[in-house]
């Protein structure tokens, strides 16, 4: 059996995701489609607007065969670590290929740039710009222009470069493929036909505006019944508490730069309102995504030590749901060493080392924190999607 991987957040699942899924199946017509999906916290450092199990149901209803959770110690990170975690999981699952969206749609060009980016000259120039006070996207873009003679790359191209580098990092034989992102960009706030970005859809959901034309029917049916959309500001009292309580240990938090912890603490003490707090800590050096990641890592106590540990190897693979094809593929994987695959936490301490158990518990504790705001029904075993009766 052969499988193709996609890396997704489905925050929430919309028509652009359906297009990605359909094109992936066209490129790999006989392959199982495996989605490695962010759980309750996503790559921009935000809580997911809907919980991981609801996203799993939407993915399966829209045609994904097997849904795997991208643990929070990967899902809430920068593009580099996010990609390493996702690609590493696809490698554990014996994926033959992966398909991702990009603004350029040119896989050979992305491969070329990814190789050049790993030169010492590029790395040195990038570090110099970061030290001078540029944000990562600005420093990255300027270095691209100077060293490679390239124009500015957009979000999905940058993430695509990290997927390609992650394939090399894990010494994987996964074949990367890319689709040109159509009609709307990652952060676009306009609607083109029946396509809109997840950012725009989240705005509509927050304002209780109509979304039926820009999401699939399966997604719409789920979202119209969902009663607890979740946003970053909901967690501000907990973030504020953690900043004050653990002020002496903030330097250990992943992505925390020297001195920034003092800025966070000072403004957490005096800012009652999240919007006021966020404005007071933001500047040109810290992008919105970077600041949100620091806040999420503070909330969850995600440290640099944990991050360094999970960059060394993939600790486990958590199955969230599958259909009949996905079940068949999981059975197929039993022919190989599939000891990292989790479908149940029963006998966890017998099957995994204390270090891996600690990481599993960290991910579950992070979801428990999410459930302080969004108290969803937490499943103990994977969702089984039955195509014949659409369950």
The reply, when asked if residue 101 is annotated as ligand binding, is yes
Q: How far apart are CA 278 and CA 271, in angstroms?
A: 9
Question: Distance between CA 144 and CA 125 in Å, rounded?
Answer: 10
| 102: β partners | 180
Q: Is 13 annotated as a binding residue?
A: yes
Q: Is 351 annotated as a binding residue?
A: no
187 is in an annotated binding site: no
8 known member of a binding site: yes
15 among annotated binding-site residues: yes
23 is in an annotated binding site: no
387 is in an annotated binding site: no
- Annotation-wise, does 11 bind a ligand? yes
Query: 181: annotated binding-site residue?
Result: yes
* Bridge partners for 342 per DSSP: 318
Residue 140 assigned as binding residue: no
* Helix, strand, or coil (residue 362): helix
9 has binding-site annotation: yes
88 is in an annotated binding site: no
| Beta carbons within 8 Å of 257's beta carbon, 6+ residues apart | none
Helix residue ranges, H only, the chain: 15-27, 52-61, 72-75, 79-92, 107-117, 120-131, 136-143, 155-169, 198-206, 217-223, 236-245, 260-270, 274-281, 288-300, 304-312, 324-333, 348-351, 354-370
Alpha carbons 54 and 370: distance in angstroms, whole number: 14
| 7 labelled ligand-binding | yes
Q: Rounded to whole angstroms, how far apart are CA atoms 312 and 189? A: 38
- Known binding residue 311? Answer is no
370 is in an annotated binding site: no
Parallel/antiparallel/unpaired status of strands 317-322 and 66-70: antiparallel
Is there a binding annotation on residue 20?
yes
Q: Which residues participate in the annotated binding site for ATP?
A: 7-20, 101, 156, 181
Q: Which residues participate in the annotated binding site?
A: 7-20, 101, 156, 181
């Amino acid at each position: 059996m052969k499988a193709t991987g996609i890396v997704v957040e489905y925050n929430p699942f919309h028509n652009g995701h359906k297009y990605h899924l359909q094109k992936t199946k066209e490129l790999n017509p006989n392959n199982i489609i495996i989605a490695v999906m962010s759980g309750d916290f996503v790559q921009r450092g935000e809580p997911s607007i809907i919980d991981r199990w609801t996203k799993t149901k939407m993915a399966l209803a829209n045609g994904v065969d097997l849904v795997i959770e991208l643990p929070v110690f990967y899902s809430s990170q920068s593009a580099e670590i996010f990609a390493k975690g996702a690609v590493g999981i696809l490698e554990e699952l014996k994926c033959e290929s992966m398909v991702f969206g990009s603004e350029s749609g040119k896989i050979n060009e992305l491969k070329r740039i990814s190789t050049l980016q790993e030169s010492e000259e590029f790395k040195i120039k990038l570090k110099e710009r970061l030290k001078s006070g540029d944000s990562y996207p600005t420093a990255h873009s300027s270095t691209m222009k100077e060293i490679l003679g390239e124009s500015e790359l957009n979000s999905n191209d940058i993430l695509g470069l990290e997927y390609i580098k992650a394939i090399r990092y894990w010494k994987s034989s996964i074949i990367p493929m890319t689709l040109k992102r159509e009609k709307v960009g990652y952060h676009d706030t306009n609607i083109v036909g029946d396509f809109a970005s997840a950012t725009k859809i989240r705005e509509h959901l927050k304002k209780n505006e109509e979304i039926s034309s820009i999401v699939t029917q399966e997604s719409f049916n789920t979202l119209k019944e969902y009663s607890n959309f979740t946003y970053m500001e909901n967690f501000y009292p907990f973030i504020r508490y953690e900043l004050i309580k653990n002020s002496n240990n903030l330097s250990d938090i992943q992505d925390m730069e020297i001195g920034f912890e003092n800025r966070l603490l000072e403004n957490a003490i005096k800012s009652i309102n999240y919007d006021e707090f966020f404005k007071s800590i933001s500047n040109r050096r810290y992008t919105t995504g970077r600041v949100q990641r620091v806040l999420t890592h503070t909330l969850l106590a995600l440290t640099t030590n944990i991050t360094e540990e999970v960059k060394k190897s993939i600790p486990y693979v958590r199955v969230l749901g599958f259909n009949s094809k996905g079940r068949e593929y999981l059975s197929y994987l039993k022919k190989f060493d599939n000891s990292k695959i989790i479908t149940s936490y029963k006998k966890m301490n017998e099957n995994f080392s204390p270090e891996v158990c600690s990481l599993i518990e960290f991910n579950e504790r992070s979801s428990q924190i999410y459930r302080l705001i969004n108290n969803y029904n937490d499943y103990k075993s994977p969702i089984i999607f039955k195509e014949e009766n659409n369950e």
